[in-house]
Chain A
Amino acid sequence: MLWTVARIEIKNLLAETSVWLVAVLLAAAVAYAGWTGSRAVAVDRQAAVSALTEQDSRLKALHARMLRSEAIGQAAQSGDDPADPVVVGRELAAQLAILPLSPLAAVAVGQRDLASASVRITTDGPQGRTSSGETALAGPTRLMTGAFDLAFVFMSLLPLVIIVLTYDLLSSERERGTLALVLAQPVSLATFVLGKALLRGVLLCGVTVVLAALATLPSAPDLMTGDGALHLGLYVAVVVGYALFWFAAAVAINVAGFSSATNALALVGLWLALVVVMPGMVQVAVQVAHPPPSRVELVNLTRAAASEIEAELSALQGEHSAAVQGTADDSALAAAKRIVVAQEALEHRAAPVMIAFATQLAAQQALLDTLRFLSPAIVVHEAMGEVAGSGAHRLQQFASQVDAFQARWRAFFFARVRAHQRLTSADHAALPRFVFREEPRATLGWRVGAGLLGLLVPTLLLVSFAAIVLRRSSRPA
């Protein structure tokens, strides 16, 4: 019986030009998004590689210079002295910390275009730390509009495609009058709807899986590396779960017995509520609950603290370079030590605000992790960022690892400054190197898994609603 209904459904679907049109449009959007995404990733990857290559050769040259000057036994010019811990830590050996691109980076740009995924690390404090900007600049409208990436296609467009294909699943039969003839047969409404829905559901899942997987083909080589397979699995599961949610919503509204036009409006209204309105409200809630400190005030705060210390600092730096230029190593190193002390005093003032930024952002993210369950679209948005390695969690980890690394970096140089030591070639060989440590795969798996649950639960609710309504009624009218 189910098969009979399903077979007629296939014939009806295939005869419908709009089905083909919509399917082709979706495929085109997915293909375009997959292609641009992988190209952008390739460009970023290339930029990171060349930046790191450039850094390697810079550090090698520095090391060589150090060896030479040790051999000659003569200090180089001030500001360019490979043995001066102040200059080397601040300038000559500056380290790039780059967040590696995940295997599925092409799926979602996420926060990658905003947050600094590459940082130039020196002994200067965190507020003086600059993004090294290894990604292309983007115009404000582009940032505001967002990228045409796979996350966008699946989060925003896929539901609309599902709506177009299923809004009149049952209502069209009712309006055409065929439903009355069907129900004059020994078939229950539930069987009929199930037959129609099962077929479309299976088709939908199949098409979605194929499209989602095909879209990542350009990234195929990367998928073999690291947690690529896990990310791919989670990503496909999220897309399919989201598709099923929308499909269940369409079935539920059809079962409720409205006209096709009402169904379409209600579904688009639901889309608007979940993809536009609810995220807007959650955004407001997050901002109100945990407002970030003011950057503008931070500027004045550091400025005020700096101007108190600045006079001293600039005098010290002058003294330092004068001393280095001269022969008196001791006085140079003493001056360097005082620079370090002054710098730490300055940072001490700004530290509470810097910490406030970090804690507020973490609190915002924690709240968002809960509030995301209010809308499957938010769940998908977050999950896409996670599997693409451009989500807030990974960027936060990067930021905190950079903080930790910088502390190590400064400790390395400041210890030598305090001990009045000049750097040796052994020190150069032992410079700290930044390596990003990914979080355990289980942590990511659990977070995305919770998101999947956030898709599954509303889907099941909708399905059970439809089942209850179907059991109660068999009316075609």
Chain B
Amino acid sequence: MAAVLEAIALRKTYGDVVALHGLDLSIEAGEIFCLLGANGAGKTTTIQLFLGFIAPSAGSARIVGLDVATHALQTKQSIAYIPENVMLYPNLTGIENLEFFTTLAGRRAIGRAGLVEILTRAGLAADAAGRRVSGYSKGMRQKVGIAMAMAKGARALLLDEPTSGLDPKGSNEFSRLLQSMSADGVGVLMATHDIFRSKEIGARVGIMKHGQLVACMGTEDLSHRDLERIYLEHMHD
């Protein structure tokens, strides 16, 4: 199967500081890949490189085989991004926000009813979807973010600590949604601190340290405890 997200010798430096040392990574359709690591390990840099928000110093980030640096707009057709806080226009309703971003993504044909249906699938009640976003909780905004990814028909999902600050129930719901999307063939790259959650949903886990991917493993045959042990071992200098 072809990789939807692919990093080839991806490197990012800020002056003398190396944020990312030649990362090689490949995530296939339907796969969930969790990036673990301390703050400043290079997780967010990796995601921003895939988004094209920053330009790589060397190597390339590819989405469905296209280089982000040279195909900035085309690659964005295929991805969706959910940051730690999905920030929306507070004066617009959830539906209006979703409509706006979906139209920007070039999916005009869905229509209001379709959008409401997608929001419902993402777990947002229809009446809530018609209210202004200024009154939304963080969990509700993250659901709109998922809905944006669904409506867009993204083939790859980039998530930057999307569950931090969510309560366990919200976090659990969010994981379910991710799993269902990956079952539909979406490749997911998620930066997170949540070892437990990564094990629950993740097919693969990567541990980053000082801009390098120091470990990469499947989680099916590991227990939570094993995973935490490995993680902490890597955190020791």
Contacts and interface: CB of A to CB of B under 8 A. Distances in A.
Interface of A: 1, 4-5, 7-8, 11-12, 15-16, 176-178, 180-188, 474-477
A187 B104 CA distance: 7
Nearest to B93: A11
A6 B43 CA distance: 34
Nearest to B71: A186
A183 B85 contact: no
A172 to B, nearest CB: 10
B87 A186 contact: no
B73 A187 contact: yes
Contact of A185 (B76, B83, B87, B92): B76
Interface in B141-161: 145, 148, 152, 158
B88 A184 contact: no
B86 interface: yes
A186 B92 contact: no
A8 B95 CA distance: 12
B120 interface: no
Nearest to A16: B91
A186 B105 contact: yes
Given A181-B148, A186-B74, 14 more contacts: A5-B104, A8-B96, A8-B100, A11-B96, A12-B92, A176-B87, A180-B83, A181-B87, A181-B88, A183-B76, A184-B81, A186-B76, A186-B106, A476-B53
Contacts of B74: 186
A4 B100 contact: yes
Name the interface size band of chain B: 20 to 34
A8 B92 contact: yes
Nearest to A15: B91
Contact of B53 (A177, A178, A183, A188): A183
A259 B233 CA distance: 41
A57 to B, nearest CB: 68
Interface string B37-57: 000000000001001111000
A477 B53 contact: yes
A157 to B, nearest CB: 26
Nearest to B85: A177
Contacts of A474: 52-53, 72
Contact of A186 (B77, B85, B88): B77
Contacts of A180: 51, 53, 81, 83, 87
Given A181-B86, A181-B148, A11 B91 contact: yes
Nearest to B141: A177
Contacts of A176: 87, 89-90
A474 B53 CA distance: 7
B72 A185 contact: no
B101 A181 contact: yes
B175 interface: no
B86 to A, nearest CB: 7
A178 B72 CA distance: 19
B103 A4 contact: yes
B79 A184 contact: yes
A378 to B, nearest CB: 39
B160 to A, nearest CB: 9
A470 to B, nearest CB: 13
Nearest to B106: A186
Given A186-B73, A186-B74, A474-B72, A178 B103 contact: no
Given A177-B85, A180-B83, A186-B73, A477 B101 contact: no
B178 interface: no
Nearest to B96: A11
B73 A188 contact: yes
Contacts of B101: 181-182, 185
B87 A177 contact: yes
B115 to A, nearest CB: 14
A187 B90 CA distance: 21
18 contacts: A4-B100, A7-B100, A8-B89, A8-B92, A8-B100, A12-B92, A16-B91, A177-B85, A177-B86, A181-B145, A182-B104, A184-B51, A185-B105, A185-B152, A188-B72, A474-B52, A474-B72, A477-B53
A184 B92 contact: no
B162 to A, nearest CB: 13
A214 B52 CA distance: 49
A474 B81 CA distance: 16
B80 interface: yes
A295 B79 CA distance: 77
Q: Which of A16, A177, A477 has the most CB of B within 10 A?
A: A177
Nearest 3 pairs between A and B by C-beta?
A: A177-B87, A15-B91, A184-B81
A144 to B, nearest CB: 44
Given A5-B104, A180-B83, A185-B104, A12 B54 contact: no
Contacts of A7: 100
B55 to A, nearest CB: 9
A7 B99 CA distance: 11
A159 B152 CA distance: 41
B105 to A, nearest CB: 5
Given A11-B92, A188-B72, A474-B72, A183 B87 contact: no
Contacts of B148: 181
Q: Which of A16, A181, A477 has the most CB of B within 10 A?
A: A181
Nearest to B86: A181
A12 B97 CA distance: 11
B204 to A, nearest CB: 23
Contacts of A477: 48, 53-54
A92 to B, nearest CB: 75
Contact of A475 (B53, B85, B145): B53
B83 to A, nearest CB: 6
Contacts of A8: 89, 92, 96, 100
Interface in B25-70: 48, 51-54
Contacts of A186: 73-74, 76-77, 104-106
A183 B83 CA distance: 12
A210 to B, nearest CB: 25
A382 to B, nearest CB: 42
B51 A183 contact: yes
Interface string B161-201: 00000000000000000000000000000000000000000
